[in-house]
A and B are shown apart, each in its own frame.
Chain A
Amino acid sequence: MSSLKITSGRLANTDAETTVLIRDGHIAALGEAAERESADRDFDAAGCILAPGFVDLCCNLREPGNGQKGNIASESLAAAHGGFTTLCASPDTSPVNDSGAVTNLILDVAAKRSAVRILPVGAITRGLEGDLLSDMAGLASAGCIALGNGARPVKNARVLRRCMAYAQTFGLTVMFSPENQALAADGYAHDGLVASRLGLLGIPEVAETAAVMEMLLLAEETGVRLHLSQLSCARSVEMLADARKRGIAVTADVAMHQLLFTEEALAGFDSRYHVRPPLRSEQDRQALLAGVRDGVIDAITSQHQPHDSAAKQAPMAATEPGLSTIESTLSMGLLLVERGELDRASLVRALTTGPASVIGRSAELREGAVADLCVFDPAASWRQGDTNLCSVGRHVPLPGKDLPGVVRLTLCNGRQAWPHNNL
């Protein structure tokens, strides 16, 4: 049985220096008790922060079916590089994860090749087509931890209501990205100042807020546990807070890039920042940050969407949405901390205990817990370039910029996931 002792690191939540002893995949001891023990290997974490391994509620692994954009091995390693130990895998695969067979395939590949823990999210409608219910109970028993429709819309409110009611029967959590398809139409940018100036087709805020309201009303009626994925509007955060007060069982997340960028990133037609939901106004960004700080928004996700280079080599309307973010999610968060827009405790909470609680898990550094850890140096910096990225997706949010925060060690189940040369 191997053991590892991490010394001189500071706990993310208290900033207190401590020692952590890892043995047999678990945290065997903390603090003085850990100091007294010896281990097979020591890791000096001086100057580093010790945090629970990050949990991502929305990650596109592209396997099965889109090998040119990424695969479980490459994207899970990228996740470990970013300090993530648990990934909720989007059902947007090919074939779609709408059957136990596909779920089993994902879990089998993950068991063989993944650097971190993969938790599949099943498709709530067959083929993600949005009109027929998937075998939800079967998906859950195969290992899906929640159900959703990925980035695809459900056909109408009637289907959505039935999806929720059926999922509630089995106590399953449903995850939806709120977007009213009719209002979003052919849009691909925030319907605001920049879209008006550049003549981009806009997605109005109401495309999200109308869908949020509809989903909240249906969740209230059906009693399902609803998770709203990737909010982007100030008004959505307000509605979320009101719904919580009414006692609706609803949680929510925001993509990290929504907290850092606004519609202005599209000036100059940079299709790198073509994401969905679109980057919105500064007012929206501030409201989303406040939502994270106040705990109204439970989690920050990477919304990692690796692509091959051709997917972004076209005029914006013809490019595929999404950023390759999982390796820089922590750094983007630390940039916000540097700017004073987010405190480190809120950041770590939104990457760890917040998302873990959404899927009914825990993410804590305590004796007896599974050893999922991230050790990062907040004072060190790095630059994203072709030589130091693990993801197939090279359309990173801040290319060539000095980014704060270097992940020194990622442990998943006590096993070293990053750096990977010692696996």
Chain B
Amino acid sequence: MTANDPSSTSLQLTADGQLRHFLTLDGLNRTLLTEILDTADSFIEVGERSIKKVPLLRGRTVVNLFFESSTRTRSTFELAAKRLSADVLNLDINTSATSKGESLSDTLLNLEAMASDMFVVRHSQSGAPHFIAESVTPGVAIINAGDGRHAHPTQAMLDMLTIRQHKGRFEGLKVAIVGDVLHSRVARSQIRALNELGAAEVRVIAPATLLPRDVESLGCTVEYDMARGMKDLDVVIMLRLQKERMEGALLPSEREFYRLYGLNREKLALADPGCIVMHPGPINRGVEIESAVADGPQSVILNQVTNGIAIRMAVMSMAMGGQMAERNRKLAGRAEG
């Protein structure tokens, strides 16, 4: 069973169950996840217009608060915010206040003083967006763009959107996540989403050094052997492997990892013929995945990138909507009082 954290639930949702922050998929039910996917579906068409804008966040200020470097995630969040007509401020924290010794709390206070409406947060420490969500003034929405090893909920949801587009359903699907699950915030969020949306089986395929303790408790089965793990798969999600894993004595070499766990045509052939291949990116060709597979007919990696903008538009607009509804309820309550 996947555990749900009640404190996250109350922090993320308004009294009537609307999103007010988007920090983790823990505590979000199937109805809400489906609503996010449906909302994202409706935004895909915006990206196909000649004028790619809707006025949902007009006059709002969105701050991209990236404490870790990122190109893809930050770009898609920026595009998503701009397509929602928001004013966007990108902050490179590596070269700013916190590197001069200012605490995270003080940085936030200063940004709030600039009347920001939403922070999109990426941080190397698990729980940082939770901390920020608990610290900010009511009315400011926090979107988690990836925190430590904890969660990357928008990435998981864009993956779910991609799966739904290609498979049409979640019920009955067999999905494998291959590689460095231990360090992967993406994998944690994917396992949670797949379980909530009704996938039949989620497998993690990796050596023991790249799996968290009691990983089964997250809602998955473990397979050390890739050939066995690929059997009957509908979806295979490859994870990024960072070079530091060899230095940390977690793996002997990239070569051995690729031989045992890299996805090539032979291994892919063991899965269901309709199996789709996914990767959150950036990919390491010849380490996690063979080029012929990454660029092949079963790969949906670029669809994931496209869907990233729509999903981020969905969660940003929903969280802002939740904050507004909550504010209006409070104002109405005061007026009655």
Contacts and interface: CB of A to CB of B under 8 A. Distances in A.
Interface of A: 191-193, 195-202, 204, 267-271, 310, 313-318
A196 B103 contact: no
Interface of B: 3, 5-8, 11, 26, 103-105, 123, 125-128, 130-131, 135, 147-151, 185, 188, 212-215, 217-218
Given A193-B217, A198-B150, A315-B131, A268 B185 contact: no
Contacts of A196: 212-215, 217-218
Nearest to B128: A315
A270 B3 CA distance: 17
Nearest to B130: A269
A315 B130 CA distance: 8
Q: Is the interface of A mostly helix, strand, loop or mixed?
A: loop
Nearest to A267: B5
B28 to A, nearest CB: 15
B127 A316 contact: yes
B213 A192 contact: yes
B126 A317 contact: yes
In the A-B complex, the 9 residue pairs with the closest CB atoms: A268-B7, A199-B149, A269-B127, A199-B150, A196-B212, A315-B128, A315-B125, A199-B126, A317-B125
B193 to A, nearest CB: 14
B151 A191 contact: no
A270 B127 CA distance: 9
Contacts of A313: 103, 105, 135
Nearest to A316: B127
A156 to B, nearest CB: 19
24 contacts: A192-B213, A195-B213, A196-B214, A196-B215, A197-B218, A198-B5, A198-B126, A199-B126, A199-B147, A199-B148, A199-B151, A199-B185, A200-B149, A268-B11, A269-B126, A269-B130, A310-B105, A313-B105, A313-B135, A315-B104, A315-B125, A316-B126, A317-B125, A317-B148
Contacts of B130: 268-269, 315
B67 to A, nearest CB: 10
Nearest to A269: B127
Given A197-B188, A199-B185, A269-B130, A191 B125 contact: no
B151 A202 contact: no
Q: Which of B123, B127, B149 has the most CB of A within 10 A?
A: B127
Contacts of B105: 310, 313-314
Contacts of A268: 5-8, 11, 130
A232 to B, nearest CB: 16
Contacts of A270: 7
Contacts of B214: 192-193, 196
Contacts of A198: 5, 126-127, 150
Q: Which of A199, A201, A204, A267 has the most CB of B within 10 A?
A: A199
A195 B240 CA distance: 21
Given A192-B213, A197-B218, A315-B127, 15 more contacts: A193-B213, A193-B217, A196-B212, A196-B217, A196-B218, A197-B217, A199-B148, A199-B150, A199-B185, A200-B148, A201-B126, A267-B8, A268-B8, A269-B127, A271-B131
A314 B214 CA distance: 27
A202 B131 contact: no
A394 to B, nearest CB: 16
B149 to A, nearest CB: 3
A198 B147 CA distance: 10
Contacts of B26: 197
Contacts of A317: 125-127, 148
Contacts of B135: 313
Nearest to A185: B248
Contacts of B8: 267-268
A401 to B, nearest CB: 16
Contact of B126 (A191, A200, A204): A200
Given A199-B150, A268-B130, A315-B127, A191 B213 contact: yes
Contacts of B213: 191-193, 195-196, 202, 204
A34 to B, nearest CB: 52
A195 B150 CA distance: 9
